[in-house]
């Protein structure tokens, strides 16, 4: 029996994953967590075979959680399930050590297949994302890296998180509260984002972030 841990800050989502997973005779949900810090403690204690992780978690996002857990438990298998744009976040998740990425809109059809593939030692991405990564790899082999590794790709995981929240209209204090960091730290991230995106003013940053949020799939 393979033991699965679910990390999501929405109890209803955790309940849905549990139902789908425990419908399978050889899979069981051994534990759940609603935050990244809680997940760290529970994973250390229960040692699941595979962890399903959302990206949006208070304080520490799911990608940082995966990096931290794999530093302690390198054999832990992780699968990201999220509403965040796959084309932006799935590569970041894989680079962090995740073995797959599932959009929440596809969970009911794909979660069991994704879990089984990861447990067998494979990776799970949508057909669209697999084709995108293969195309990028072929361009790199030919010495033609895609110049649009868009400017957004320059941002760290935390900077991207802050950029996204700016685009959603949140104030510095709101962002600090949501991410459990200080307003001063938010300001530091804003400064680095402006530098990396060649934006001179806070207004330009807000406009760019808002446009990016509006144009996300």
- Residue-range domain boundaries for the chain: 2-132, 151-215
> In this predicted model, what pLDDT tens digit does every residue of 120-145 receive, in sequence order?
999 898 766 666 655 555 554 455 54
- Say whether 151-215 and 2-132 share the same fold: no
3-class secondary structure, 49: coil
Helix (H) or strand (E) holding 181, with range, is: none
Q: Residue 204 has what pLDDT?
A: 84
> In this predicted model, what pLDDT tens digit does every residue of 148-192 receive, in sequence order?
346 787 888 889 889 988 988 888 998 888 888 899 999 999 999
The CATH number that domain 2-132 falls under is: 3.40.50.2300
Give the tokens for residue 163: 């950029």
Candidate CATH numbers 1.25.40.10, 3.40.50.970, 1.10.10.10, 3.90.1150.10; the one for domain 151-215: 1.10.10.10
Edge-to-edge strands, sheet with 77-82 = 27-33, 2-7, 50-53, 77-82, 101-103
Express as a percent the part of the chain with pLDDT over 70. Answer: 88
Q: Residue 46 has what pLDDT?
A: 95
Instruction: Name the DSSP letter for residue 159.
Output: H
Question: What pTM does this model have?
Answer: 0.70
> In this predicted model, what pLDDT tens digit does every residue of 68-83 receive, in sequence order?
999 999 999 999 998 8
Residue in 113, 73, 78, 106 with CA at minimum distance from that of residue 92: 78
Give the tokens for residue 29: 């949900």
Cα(50)–Cα(79) distance, integer angstroms? 7
């Amino acid at each position: 029996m393979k033991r699965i841990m679910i990390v999501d800050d929405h109890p209803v989502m955790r309940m849905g994953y549990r139902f789908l997973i425990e419908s399978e005779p050889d899979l069981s949900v051994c534990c759940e967590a609603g935050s990244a810090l809680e997940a760290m403690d529970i994973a250390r204690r229960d040692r699941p075979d595979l962890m399903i992780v959302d990206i949006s978690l208070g304080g520490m996002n799911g990608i940082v959680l995966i990096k931290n857990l794999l530093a302690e438990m390198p054999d832990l298998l992780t699968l990201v399930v999220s509403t965040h744009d796959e084309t932006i976040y799935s590569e970041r998740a894989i680079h962090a050590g995740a073995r797959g990425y599932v959009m929440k809109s596809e969970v009911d059809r794909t979660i069991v297949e994704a879990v089984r593939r990861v447990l067998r030692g494979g990776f799970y991405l949508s057909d669209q994302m697999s084709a995108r990564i293969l195309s990028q790899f072929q361009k790199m082999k030919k010495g033609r890296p895609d110049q649009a590794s868009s400017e957004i790709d320059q941002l760290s995981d935390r900077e991207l998180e802050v950029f996204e929240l700016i685009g959603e209209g949140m104030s510095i204090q709101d962002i600090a509260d949501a991410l459990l960091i200080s307003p001063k730290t938010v300001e530091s991230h804003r400064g680095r984002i402006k530098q990396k995106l060649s934006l001179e003013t806070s207004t330009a940053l807000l406009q760019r972030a808002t446009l990016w949020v509006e144009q996300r799939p």
